[in-house]
Amino acid sequence: MILLFLCFLLQTLYKTQVKELKEEIDEKNKETQRKMQELQNEKETLTTQLDLAETKAESEQLARALLEEQYFELSQESKKAASRHRQEMTDKDSIIRRLEETNSTLTKDVDLITKENSEISEKMKKQEEEYKMKKEEEINNIRMQYEKSINTERTLKTQAVNKLAEIMNRKDFKIDRKKASMQDLRKKDKENRKLQLELNQEKEKFNQMVVKYQKELNEMQAQLAEESTYRNELQMQLDSKESDIEQLRRKILDLQQGMDSTSVSSLQPDEIDGNLSESRLEGWLSIPNKGNIKRHGWKKQYVVVSSKKILFYNDEKDKDQSNPSMVLDIDKLFHVRPVTQGDVYRAETEEIPKIFQILYANEGECRKDVEVESVQPAEKTNFLNHKGHEFIPTIYHFPANCEACAKPLWHVFKPPAALECRRCHVKCHRDHLDKKEELIAPCKGISTAYEEAALPGEFLPRCWSTTWFLNNYFGQLIFGCVGDNAVTTSPSCAKTFEEWYFSHFTDWGQNFLSVLL
């Protein structure tokens, strides 16, 4: 029994322990499953985070690759910009050096031309003074000789009268009156012939001296005209050089301003050219060959307007060679206005709205001496060319003297053949020209005071809004403003101009220049 009881107790104890162990195992299994579930959840969370991290890493890697590529491109562009900047700086330095060399060369040329001009002016002044002194001395000598000969003739005449009185008072005059009278007449006749011969000799000598000195005077005048022409050409070339120097100085100033600014690399060449073109006006005009526009037409001229001068060139080649055909001083300009039909009645009707006039003083004009052009056969018979004169055959019935020999050139019934220059109005006998005598001085006549010029049609839109060429330049330079004094196309402006012109500039020399836009 005891064994059974012990066995029963052991069995019970064993079952209890087994039950406890099972419960413990179940609890441990549950704990393990719970932990495994937590680990699984954590694994899934970590896997999700890993996927997100990998995705983020890949996006960051892609962004880094893009940034590296952009960095490489920017570095390449930076290198190219730096090299281009260095190249532009080198080119501009070379341009500046070249312009400085050109400026120094032109400055030396201007100094040389100015020096030559001053030397020529001094030489001309000395020659003029010497010529005046020589002429005065010769005139004094001739006057003294004539006074001496007159005094001698007076003395001889007085002696002859006294001698005649002495003979008349002699006592034996009545005795042999007839014989003495005949002897005295022969003696007086002989003395008269002798004095007449001496008088003719003196007249011949005087005529020879007049011809000699007139020839020398003509040579001096011709030399003076040549010197004046040469001086005129040098002055025109000097004005052209000054205009070129002004343009170069503007270029240098613009380049220096561009170098000093911070946006040097952004300054394009076309902007520089635009700035330079705005500071300098130049283009093609047309001026008439002669006064009659319909017959002779227009002649194209290349015009450059600087701050002080208006230069007219025959073509661009003359502009490159600084060889202008005419120069106008802007300081000598008075007024600018449009024209009417009465001003340019020879112009075409459609051209009149495009024409305007510029009034300037004669001393403000400098032009080359125009060579005598070939004329039509029908016109050659109208006048004779000689030393620049254009002589027209004529006769004078009213008092007039020859300007070559100072003899009368007129007669009431039978006047001698005469010539008159239609340019300078010099009058002389026709015999002087037929005999080719050197008594006639070169022509000093000036060209016509009324000229016209024309701009081509393609400049019309730019020029004719109260005339860009007038108001934007001449209006400001002449009047100092653009407003009430500016030129307009209204008729009232023309009326105001006429009143202003006739009240101010009718007593001294002035010129018109009519411009066709």
Residue 124: C-alpha distances to residues 17, 131, 231, 339 (Å): 152, 10, 10, 42
Buried-state track 465-492, b at ≥16 Cβ within 10 A, e below 16 = ebbebbbbbbbeebbeeeeeebbbeeee
* DSSP code per residue over 323-381: --SEEEEGGGEEEEEE--TTTTTTS-GGGGGGEEEEEEEGGGEEEPPPPPPP--HHHHT
The pLDDT, as a whole number, for residue 89 is 92
* Dihedral in degrees, nearest 10, Cα atoms 234, 235, 236, 237: 50
**Structure confidence at residue 290 as a pLDDT band (50, 70, 90):** low
Q: What is the mean pLDDT of residues 248-256?
A: 84
Contact 421, 483 (CB under 8 A): no
Least-confidence region, from 350-359, 407-416, 421-430: 350-359
pLDDT beyond 50 at 374: no
Contact 462, 468 (CB under 8 A): yes
pLDDT beyond 70 at 250: yes
pLDDT beyond 90 at 71: yes
pLDDT beyond 60 at 377: no
Range among 9-23, 64-78, 144-158, 174-188 with highest mean pLDDT value: 64-78
Least-confidence region, from 80-94, 245-259, 290-304, 375-389: 375-389
Contact 451, 511 (CB under 8 A): yes
Q: CA 279 to CA 277: how far, in whole Å?
A: 5
Q: What is the mean pLDDT of residues 153-157?
A: 80
The pLDDT, as a whole number, for residue 405 is 86
Contact 198, 156 (CB under 8 A): no
* Dihedral in degrees, nearest 10, Cα atoms 408, 412, 418, 419: 100
Residue labelled with tokens 């307009």: 488
Residue labelled with tokens 């006769």: 395
Closest Cα partner for 319 from 280, 355, 271? 280
**Relative orientation angle of helices 177-260 and 2-168, to the nearest 10 degrees:** 180
Contact 188, 408 (CB under 8 A): no
Give the DSSP letter of residue 459.
G
Checking 210-219 for CB contacts under 8 A at 24+ apart, the result is: 211/437, 211/438, 211/439, 213/138, 214/404, 214/438, 214/439, 215/438, 217/135, 217/441, 218/438, 218/439, 218/440, 218/441, 218/442
Which carries the bigger pLDDT value, residue 50 or residue 483?
50
Sign of CA dihedral 208, 214, 219, 220: positive
pTM given for the model? 0.43
Q: CA 74 to CA 67: how far, in whole Å?
A: 10
pLDDT beyond 80 at 182: no
pLDDT beyond 70 at 293: no
Q: CA 226 to CA 170: how far, in whole Å?
A: 70
Q: What is the mean pLDDT of residues 486-501?
A: 36
Residue labelled with tokens 């002798």: 194
Q: Is 66 exposed, middle or buried (0-12, 13-18, 19+ CB in 10 A)?
A: exposed
Closest Cα partner for 491 from 340, 336, 334, 335? 340
Local structure of 216: helix, strand or coil: helix
Local structure of 273: helix, strand or coil: helix
The pLDDT, as a whole number, for residue 481 is 31
**Structure confidence at residue 77 as a pLDDT band (50, 70, 90):** very high
Residues 198-233: tens digit of each pLDDT: 888 888 888 888 888 878 887 888 888 888 888 888
β-strands 355-361, 281-288 pairing: unpaired
Backbone angles phi, psi at 491, to 5 degrees: -60, -30
Closest Cα partner for 200 from 189, 190, 208, 211? 208
What's the order of all strands across the beta sheet hosting 389-394? 384-386, 389-394, 418-421, 427-429
Local structure of 134: helix, strand or coil: helix
